[in-house]
Chain A
């Protein structure tokens, strides 16, 4: 066993063995370091350095896990299930890459938007919170311990509440939406904790792989089923599954632009990853209970989200709020992929996780630039800005097309996968529904484009193009949308490996790691 007597003959670890923990640790340390130094001009460089280092780690991890193997890291040197384990397989590595890459891309944008929206005095603390939020999301994704998920989820959620409330410098409603977000997020987290308590009661362990092992032997156990329900609802609150989405539009709308970008691109994605992980790796529906239950619970909610949220988005007059509702709708697609419960469906979910993330990052950054120049995101305030801000508006066009799923953009790839998955099941009507909801997307995207390009410029408006610090990251994200629309090898490959790992249930979380970085255990 770990520690104890064998530690005398401890085999020294290389720095590369520490990658899973460094991934989380570097941005983690950036936060207190910035506060401790207390120098305002250093806060952003520190945060930037943390994000970049984290990205490097995640790229290496992704490359290491693309062959379907996984890396296990024993924190504190205690072998799981006694200690906390970090376990990286293709699925987490993919989401890790997504989060850290988004963090790096939005960093310059954050600098520009924070300078404009947050009082100077608060910058150090703001960046500390920003880094804590990213740390929490990375920690949620990388860990293989059920309770550790809760702890890091709360790190990211608490800092997210604070970050959202910082929108109060522009609009006081940021405070009440932050409060609602806090209330619902905490209820969700508490539900999640109840679920983990039930799981612990039934299995006596907290390590996910170990739980999966022990659940498989239990068969029909009401405690485990209740645990699944609570974890699903708790996470559903964080994901903003349609009827539980109430916090999301307000939070996205009133948060500072940089925060909206971060939340939209990463926070819900990490939560969806947790749902995936628990549904497939921990509970393994085919062992625990009838998979039909999944069909009948998840698919209706997914469809509801796709149509209801899209419909609401169509009628919005506020660009940012429209995008928020569209996010809820897109979460519906991801859920649909989970509900299909086959390889293509899960691959579609994973790809859409990535594609939607970059699409929304580009769009929300564009919104941030529009806010910077026009002061508001209402359609009548941004009318005609396609002429004065061509770069930004072009990003909106690309992002919008990707949102609809026009061939040649990233959004097309994931929707195509989803339709394919539907056909594999023989549900051609489902494919029709997917196309139908995409038509709704056409409408709401068209409304924005119409306003931007065809409307007259608002009277007296003297708009300049967005500053480079904003336009640069925006274009990186927009080009990524196009790039991943044509070159699908990386995303599809990674997603397929990830989905395979998830679907193979117990095999994906086998107790014996292939590449152990745990010393001589």
Chain B
């Protein structure tokens, strides 16, 4: 019961933060709220037993992203214009997508059901056999690095691609950047 209460409270905070984000117009505030959002998400991950994910989400969502966002804002602009576009079509798209999603959830097993198909097939194998086969206490690590090690190789490649990409896109100095800078000061 206590867990449910914690979940629900975290959820309402998450939803409130997301809704607050929709109407914020100062980029700095948006970034800070996004940081808080991922902090809340990470707390939710802890309550859902995904400690590794919480660890990563905290490091990435609240740490790296925040620094990146700040760096971007420092290089671009501080605010965003209030939206003037009609919002009916986007709203409709969102509602339809959400409706399909909810329609899809209707046949799902209950939250936390230990007999759900997702828990009994492959996952059960990992939990029972990894002690014998890999002998590492953290099952997440053994799946990540060994059973699905190739996915992780792909993940590292994605990160590498992002690094290469960022270098390609913004590591070269813009031609007049320095000069203009001196004029400014």
Contact = CB atoms under 8 A, between A and B. Distances in A.
Interface of A: 1-4, 28, 31-32, 35, 75-76, 78, 81-84, 119, 121-122, 125-126, 128-129, 132, 135-136, 139, 145, 147-148, 151-152, 154-155, 158-159, 161-162, 165-166, 194, 198, 200-206, 214, 221-223, 225-227, 229-230
Contacts of A155: 154, 157-158, 161
Chain B contact surface mostly:
helix
Interface of B: 100-101, 103-109, 116-123, 125-126, 129, 132-134, 146-151, 154-155, 157-158, 160-162, 164-165, 167-169, 172
Nearest to A122: B168
Contact of B117 (A1, A139, A162, A201): A201
Contacts of A1: 129, 133
Given A82-B125, A204-B118, A204-B120, 17 more contacts: A3-B134, A31-B157, A32-B160, A75-B149, A82-B122, A83-B147, A119-B172, A122-B168, A129-B164, A158-B158, A162-B168, A201-B118, A203-B118, A222-B103, A222-B104, A222-B107, A225-B104
Nearest to A206: B122
**Taking each of B104, B109, B147, which has the highest tally of chain A beta carbons within 10 Å of its own beta carbon?**
B104
A204 B157 contact: no
A126 B164 CA distance: 8
A188 B65 CA distance: 22
Contact of A148 (B133, B150, B160): B150
A206 B116 CA distance: 15
Contacts of B162: 158
Contact of A28 (B116, B118, B133, B157): B157
Nearest to A156: B161
6 contacts: A75-B149, A82-B125, A159-B161, A162-B161, A205-B122, A222-B103
Contact of B160 (A132, A139, A161, A223): A132
Given A75-B149, A161-B165, A151 B172 contact: no
Given A3-B133, A204-B122, A223-B104, A128 B150 contact: no
Contacts of A161: 165
Contacts, number: 136
Contacts of B146: 76, 78
B29 to A, nearest CB: 22
A229 B119 contact: no
B147 A78 contact: yes
B100 A226 contact: yes
A206 B151 CA distance: 12
B169 A165 contact: yes
Contacts of A122: 168, 172
B103 to A, nearest CB: 6
A151 B118 contact: no
Nearest to B154: A151
A4 B125 CA distance: 13
Contacts of B132: 4
A202 B105 CA distance: 10
B96 to A, nearest CB: 11
Nearest to B160: A32
